[in-house]
Amino acid sequence: MTFETTDLTPEIGTRIRMDVADLISGKYAEEIRALLRKRLILVFPDAPVNDAEQVAFSKTIGNFELEDGYDEKGSETYRISLDPRESLRAASLKSSFRWHLDGTTADVPTYASILSAKQVAAEGGQTEFCNTYAAYEALPDADKALIDDLWAHHSGYAMQIGTFLEMSYEHYMRSRTRGADLPLVWRHRDGRKSLVVGSSAEYVLGMSPHDGLGLLYRLTEWATQPRFVYRHEWSVNDIVMWDNTGTLHRAIPYAEDSGRLLVKTRLAGEETFLGKEAVSELA
């Protein structure tokens, strides 16, 4: 099998067919990284890998970084499951049912993440991604002018409050331990711009709660309209990689007892939300 690519939608997503041995070896690492920058979502169908092989592949693309709360069994991977026997963070993973990008409260957000499917849900469990570069570029000029200098506060609380109908005081205090003020428009160091919205955005600085939330909801709705979205229907042994700096993503709800299990690895961030120079060097 050679390196074969097929675009999945006009705005986002490319399928790559290649030998698993070549994937792990890094033979096409430069081509994969270039496509990731351009197409944001890369799908490798029928690519069975074990944890060590997924880590090895990840390291060919960028600087590998352990996920917070990574697998307590000693693996360098992180298990995505609503089954508490598979993941100690199973309950909090329900927040992934809402549109978000990873690392909004970190000093530097995740550059990219890689998921491999071990078991899939019979119903639900698809993962959707939207192109926040294209969404920004397509905004009316009046909206671009409106948000050009606006910032929003992002927090774990904002993500969790939409997940739980009621929240204990202890849970509330844990969710408020870290937050960050981020621009609504990410000016990347390569000159491109993307929207920074999603479920972690709690309020807009300098706006009333009513007006600020209305703007955040409107921008997220704009960015996640069908023309900017790719929905992945999982099959066992699929690998999906996404550029976290130019996308939002969410999981379609699925049952806790569905057996759905994905294994995740991630690559360390390379620029801040202010578009500053690289904060990590590629190996």
Q: How confident is the model over 101-117, as pLDDT tens digits?
A: 999 988 899 999 999 99
Q: Evaluate whether residue 165 is within a structural domain.
A: no
Q: Which domain holds residue 253?
A: 4-84+108-121+233-267
CA of residue 190 relative to chain centroid, distance: 20
Query: CATH number of the domain that 71 lies in?
Result: 3.60.130.10
Q: Evaluate whether residue 174 is within a structural domain.
A: no
Please state, in angstroms and rounded to a whole number, the distance separating the CA atoms of residues 179 and 175: 9
pLDDT at position 39 is 98
Q: Evaluate whether residue 251 is within a structural domain.
A: yes
The radius of gyration computed from the CA coordinates of the chain, to the nearest angstrom, equals 18
Say what the alpha-carbon torsion angle 23, 29, 33, 36 is, to the nearest 10 degrees: -20
Q: Residue 43 has which token pair?
A: 């799908």
- For residues 232 and 127, the answer to whether their CB atoms sit within 8 Å is yes
Q: Evaluate whether residue 59 is within a structural domain.
A: yes
- For residues 83 and 203, the answer to whether their CB atoms sit within 8 Å is no
Max CA separation in the chain (angstroms)? 57
pLDDT at position 198 is 96
pTM reported for the whole predicted model: 0.91
Give the three-state DSSP class for 68.
coil
Q: Which regions in the chain score pLDDT beneath 70?
A: 1, 68-74, 162-177, 276-283
Q: Evaluate whether residue 249 is within a structural domain.
A: yes
pLDDT at position 279 is 59
Domain count for the chain: 1
pLDDT at position 76 is 85
Q: Evaluate whether residue 201 is within a structural domain.
A: no
Q: Evaluate whether residue 157 is within a structural domain.
A: no
pLDDT at position 89 is 78
Q: Evaluate whether residue 60 is within a structural domain.
A: yes
Distance between first and last Cα of the chain: 27
